[in-house]
Chain A
């Protein structure tokens, strides 16, 4: 059976990608809120925020906006997984001789594909709004790698939510704190402008190191130790969420 893992995952990923293609609004709505936030921050609040750096505000806040995009996009994964379990299709898959991990991986890969499209949309709008970077191909690859890791980590959290939710609303509610997290970070304003405890939280939560890394990569500045802190957070969260999701899944199907 294990020999079919890749094939089965491919077939099931094709299925959920088709779901997305038939309701492309999920990709659009994922991108709309971050774009609206970007417009709001750049054209309304941005003038009042002193970033302490010479770069334009759209350059400054784009990394945080990209993380918000992904954080709101993964909610759809929890939603789709929950719907699969509600209908009988999940049990049908379970009673068939297919590799068990394929069912979850298909949702995760679909989430990755959908979120990358949403992120590309947001970057497109940012470019129109004046976002500029001289980042090299390698730096772009590094940014893409970090965003992929971020999506995977958050998607596996979404899988936990989708598997354990009792209602549709519950399945997507987990994403609100994730969407909110970038606001209490260096994403929109420098952390040293915040009062003590808030600044402490902002400096020690994962989003700040990820935002700083992406910002440095776009600005062609040295990433310093931020990239290692960011990678440690991302790999750590990914590993823990993956283990939890699979433990819940195994309990669910046994």
Chain B
């Protein structure tokens, strides 16, 4: 690791009554990188994200985010971060645009209307902008959620299972957004239970299992933990995901409310070319 750590977690422990959720978690996240916290359900990912985003206090250990201690300087941490939780945190009664304006106002920014319009355009939500968020599809809602998180350009973004419950296209859109963010220098910590998601996005991957980090490294470092790959000849079958994306991918993303943009289509193509192994649905 370099010395420039955007997030530094040392010996974090957290229990809920007799349940030891985190038993001493340590890791650093380099500024401007994408760090994936991989773990199955109940591994403690969300608890850790809640501690780092000042929603929960740790029982032991220290964590600094953007140089600020999460326990001692929660206000400064909140100025530096944005959290996108597991369930899209949008106000369903308000329209998409009103949601964005609300967050811009709460971040005390000037021209909240202009900020909202810009983000609606960036996330292909312009046409849906004046509709209530309750009418949005899961993918649109998640895009709005992430758009709300980007307001004010926080240097660090926490994404807790950003693609859980999304369809394949919406997942790819979220992935592209995350890559764009990191490209602009934002530090992203994301949790996921999908192995291919971590493989696709992360510069470093840490595996959280039973409350501790059991491995932490780049994808190739993690791959070296296993014996070298054997060469086998297997007939290449398209996965169902490949078939699905090939069938529906070139037409239209039904949930963008009509606005489609070419940038996201290229994202699809890039993904299909890399032929990631088919993902078994976790549920």
Please report A residues at the B interface, Cβ cutoff 8 Å: 1, 4, 7-8, 11-12, 15, 18-19, 22-23, 87-89, 91-98, 253-254
Cβ of A95 and Cβ of B81 under 8 Å apart? yes
* Chain A residues, Cβ within 8 Å of B148: 92
Cβ of A88 and Cβ of B88 under 8 Å apart? yes
Once A91-B89, A96-B78, A97-B79 are accepted as A-B contacts, the answer to whether A15 and B94 lie under 8 Å apart by CB is yes
User: Which of B78, B90, B92, B102 meets A97, CB within 8 Å?
Assistant: B78
* Chain B residues, Cβ within 8 Å of A93: 106
Cβ of B88 and Cβ of A11 under 8 Å apart? no
* Chain B residues, Cβ within 8 Å of A4: 108
* Chain A residues, Cβ within 8 Å of B75: 1, 97
Cβ of B53 and Cβ of A7 under 8 Å apart? no
> Shortest Cβ distance from A114 into chain B, in angstroms?
14
Docked pose: A8 CA to B55 CA in angstroms: 19
Listed from nearest, the 5 A-B pairs whose CB atoms lie closest are: A88-B89, A92-B89, A95-B83, A97-B78, A88-B85
What are 22 residue pairs bridging A and B, where the CB atoms are less than 8 Å apart in the complex?
A4-B108, A7-B108, A8-B106, A11-B102, A15-B91, A15-B94, A18-B93, A19-B93, A87-B89, A87-B90, A89-B89, A89-B91, A91-B50, A91-B85, A92-B89, A92-B148, A94-B55, A95-B53, A95-B55, A95-B83, A96-B107, A97-B78
* Chain A residues, Cβ within 8 Å of B169: none
* Chain A residues, Cβ within 8 Å of B57: 254
Name A's interface SS: helix
Docked pose: A97 CA to B108 CA in angstroms: 9
B187 within 8 A of A: no
Please report B residues at the A interface, Cβ cutoff 8 Å: 50, 53-55, 57, 75, 78-79, 81-83, 85-94, 98, 102-103, 105-108, 145, 148
User: Which of A7, A92, A97 meets B83, CB within 8 Å?
Assistant: A92
> Shortest Cβ distance from A99 into chain B, in angstroms?
10
* Chain B residues, Cβ within 8 Å of A254: 57
* Chain B residues, Cβ within 8 Å of A1: 75
Residue of B nearest to A90 (CB): B89
> Shortest Cβ distance from A109 into chain B, in angstroms?
16
Residue of A nearest to B76 (CB): A97
Cβ of B55 and Cβ of A91 under 8 Å apart? yes
Docked pose: A254 CA to B98 CA in angstroms: 29
Residue of B nearest to A3 (CB): B108
Which among A7, A23, A94 has the highest number of chain B CB atoms within 10 Å?
Answer: A94
In the complex, besides A11-B105, A23-B93, A97-B78, 7 extra interface pairs with C-beta distance below 8 angstroms are A1-B75, A18-B93, A91-B83, A96-B78, A96-B103, A96-B107, A97-B107
Which among B94, B98, B106 has the highest number of chain A CB atoms within 10 Å?
Answer: B106
